[in-house]
C-alpha cells in the first residue's frame, strides 16, 4: 500500500494516515464535530484533541501493520478534509472488508466521497486482493447511500441494532460490492 498521496478531485488527494497527522486530524474532527455527530459513535472530549488523535492513530497504524485495516486521510494541501477506512479485513475464503468514510462539511457535494470510495475499491481489489467490500449506513443517511449506489455498491439488506451511533443502537442499511 503506497504511502504517497494520489489525486482524487481538484486539489484533494488521498494517502495512508501518518503519525504526524494527529494535529490536522484533531482539527478536522473538531471542525466537523456537529456535522459527524449523528453518524458516528459518541466521542469523548479527549477524542477531539491532538493527544486523542495520536492515540487513535497509533491504534489504527497497529491494525494497518497487522493487515486488518487500511486508514487513509483525504487532504487538501496540509488540511485533512476526510477519512476513508477499510476495516475488519478477513483473508481466507471470505476475502472481505468493511468500508467507512466521511468528508468535511465544507467539501460535500463535490464528488470527493465517490472518488475516495472508487480509490478504496480499486486498492482493495488490486493491492489487497479482496473479493468483497461491505458498507453500512443509517437509513436516513441519504448522501452516503447515494455515494455507495453511484460507486456500484448494491443494497443487500437491513441489520437491526447494528451499531451504537450517537448514543443508541441503530438499524443500518447494508451494502456490498463484489470486486471480482
Across 32-42, average pLDDT: 97
Number of domains in the chain: 1
pLDDT at 121 over 90: yes
Domain containing residue 60: 6-131
> Which among 120, 129, 122, 78 is positioned nearest to 102, based on CA atoms?
120
The pTM of this model reads: 0.95
Query: pLDDT tens digits, residue range 53-94?
Result: 999 999 999 999 999 999 999 999 999 999 999 999 999 999
- Is the residue at 165 inside a domain? no
Across 23-43, average pLDDT: 97
pLDDT at 4: 80
- Is the residue at 34 inside a domain? yes
Confidence label for 1 from pLDDT (cuts 50, 70 and 90):
low
Residue 65 belongs to domain with CATH number: 3.40.630.30
pLDDT at 2 over 60: no
pLDDT at 5: 85
- Is the residue at 124 inside a domain? yes
- Is the residue at 139 inside a domain? no
pLDDT at 111: 95
pLDDT at 96: 98
Identify which has the larger pLDDT, 2 or 38. 38
pLDDT at 25 over 80: yes
- Is the residue at 166 inside a domain? no
Across 119-143, average pLDDT: 97
Return the ∠ at Cα 87 (arms to 38 and 74), rounded to 5°: 65
- Is the residue at 1 inside a domain? no
Question: How far is Cα 110 from Cα 152, in angstroms, rounded to an integer?
Answer: 18
Q: What is the 3-state secondary structure (H, E, C) of the chain?
A: CCCCCEEEECCEEEEECCHHHHHHHHHHHHHCHHHHHHHCCCCCHHHHCHHHHHHHHHHHHHHHHHCCCEEEEEEECCEEEEEEEEEEEECCCCCEEEEEEEECCCCCCCCHHHHHHHHHHHHHHHCCCCCEEEEEECCCCHHHHHHHHHCCCEEEEEEEEEEEECCEEEEEEEEEEECC
pLDDT at 142: 96
- The separation between CA 127 and the C-alpha centre of its own chain, rounded to angstroms, equals 17
pLDDT at 3 over 80: no
Mean pLDDT across the chain, nearest whole number?
96
Amino acid at each position: 500500500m503506497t504511502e504517497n498521496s494520489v489525486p482524487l478531485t481538484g486539489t484533494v488527494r488521498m494517502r495512508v494516515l501518518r503519525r504526524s497527522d494527529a494535529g490536522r486530524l484533531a482539527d478536522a474532527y473538531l471542525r466537523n464535530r456537529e456535522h459527524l455527530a449523528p453518524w458516528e459513535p459518541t466521542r469523548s472530549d479527549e477524542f477531539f484533541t491532538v493527544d486523542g488523535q495520536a492515540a487513535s492513530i497509533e491504534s489504527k497504524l497497529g491494525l494497518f501493520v497487522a493487515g486488518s485495516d487500511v486508514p487513509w486521510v483525504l487532504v487538501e494541501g496540509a488540511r485533512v478534509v476526510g477519512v476513508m477506512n477499510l476495516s475488519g479485513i478477513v483473508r481466507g475464503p471470505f476475502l472481505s472488508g468493511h468500508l467507512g468514510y466521511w468528508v468535511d462539511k465544507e467539501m460535500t457535494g463535490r464528488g470527493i466521497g465517490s472518488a475516495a470510495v472508487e480509490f478504496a475499491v480499486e486498492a482493495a481489489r488490486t493491492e489487497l486482493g479482496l473479493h468483497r467490500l461491505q458498507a453500512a449506513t443509517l437509513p436516513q443517511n441519504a448522501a452516503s447511500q447515494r455515494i455507495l449506489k453511484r460507486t456500484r455498491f448494491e443494497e443487500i439488506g437491513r441489520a437491526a441494532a447494528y451499531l451504537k451511533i450517537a448514543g443508541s443502537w441503530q438499524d443500518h442499511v447494508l451494502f456490498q460490492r463484489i470486486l471480482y
